[in-house]
Amino acid sequence: MRALLLRDLRLAIRAGGGFGLALAFFLIVVVLVPLSVGPNSDRLAIIAPGMLWLGALLANLLSLDRMFALDWEDGSLDLLATSPMPLEAVALIKALAHWITTALPLILAAPAFALMLNLPGAGYTGLLISLLLGTPALSVIGSFGAALTVGLKRGGLLLSLLVLPLYVPTLIFGAEMTRRAAETQEYLTPMLMLAGITCGTIALLPFASAAVLRANLR
């Protein structure tokens, strides 16, 4: 399993692996928001939590379709399915690799982006904790969507349509937690909800992904 994780990380940082794509997209969103709503810093401070979470979520979506599609195209997925590694573990490791290459850089860059959107100083802790707790769910849900669309040519749009409704709870509680933190309110409830959603998806969805992959490989 470590071998698969290392291989996926190595593939991501080699040429054409798409590493940094999500970060660049997130940066574009954050740069364009003040241009579209105007430079009024009070207004920006109000919308910053929602915009940061929306940007992170869409950036996450960008690289989902490569998760299984590349392995399916070159036959690696067949070979992984016939290997001693359970497909459930393959799905979970793929989600973890996606999280490390996509979400982790976003989280590390988030404070800088928050500064560009004038997020109130009290909101930074809430933003970072909410991203740390919430983004694993995005990657795991995404791996399920990627498994569903693995055999389809250009299934990227369908993948987004399937995955976005499942992203909604994470988006709601993540943005809510950041907003409450920014307004120096108590944010334990949305934080627990966010952690609960993430734990639930990690516990259940790899099994669904593996079942779907088996059906798609037939």
Partner 1 sequence: MVLQVTDLSLARGGVRLIEGLSFELASGQAMLVRGPNGIGKTTLLRTLAGLQPPLTGQIDAEEDSLAYAGHLDGVKPTLTVAENLRFWAAVFGGGDLETALRDFALTPLRDRPAGQLSAGQKRRLGLARLKVTGRKTWLLDEPTVSLDAEARALFEAAVKAHLAQGGAVLAATHIDLSFGAADTLDLTPYRATSPIAGAFDEALL
DSSP state of 59: H
Residue 141 CB partners (closer than 8 Å, separation 6+): 163, 166, 167, 170, 201, 205
Q: Which stretch binds partner 1 (CB under 8 A): 70-78, 133-141, 147-155, 168-176?
A: 70-78
Q: Nearer Cβ to partner 1, position 15 or 35?
A: 15
Q: In whole angstroms, what is the distance from residue 195 CA to residue 201 CA?
A: 10
Among 28, 31, 41, 75, binds partner 1 (CB under 8 A): 75
Q: In whole angstroms, what is the distance from residue 185 CA to residue 122 CA?
A: 10
Binding residues among 3-22 for partner 1 as defined by CB under 8 A:
3-4, 7, 10-11, 14-17
Q: Nearer Cβ to partner 1, position 83 or 189?
A: 83
Q: In whole angstroms, what is the distance from residue 93 CA to residue 15 CA?
A: 21
Are 132 and 191 in contact by the 8 Å Cβ rule? The answer is no
Compute, in degrees rounded to 10, the torsion defined by CA atoms 51, 53, 58, 62: 130
Q: Nearer Cβ to partner 1, position 73 or 111?
A: 73
Q: In whole angstroms, what is the distance from residue 139 CA to residue 12 CA?
A: 15
Tokens for 19, please give them.
Answer: 């590493």
Annotate each residue in 35-64 with x if it binds partner 1 (CB under 8 A) or - if it does not, as one string.
Answer: ------------------------------
Nearest distance, CB of residue 214 and partner 1, angstroms: 8
Q: How many residues bind partner 1 (CB under 8 A)?
A: 26
Nearest distance, CB of residue 78 and partner 1, angstroms: 6
Instruction: Tell me if 153 contacts partner 1 by CB under 8 A.
Output: no
Q: Nearer Cβ to partner 1, position 27 or 80?
A: 80
Binding residues among 82-111 for partner 1 as defined by CB under 8 A:
82-85
Instruction: Tell me if 74 contacts partner 1 by CB under 8 A.
Output: yes
Q: What is the 3-state secondary structure (H, E, C) of 82-103?
A: CCCCCHHHHHHHHHHHHHHHHH
By CB under 8 A, name the binding residues for partner 1: 2-4, 7, 10-11, 14-17, 71, 73-76, 78-85, 215, 217-218
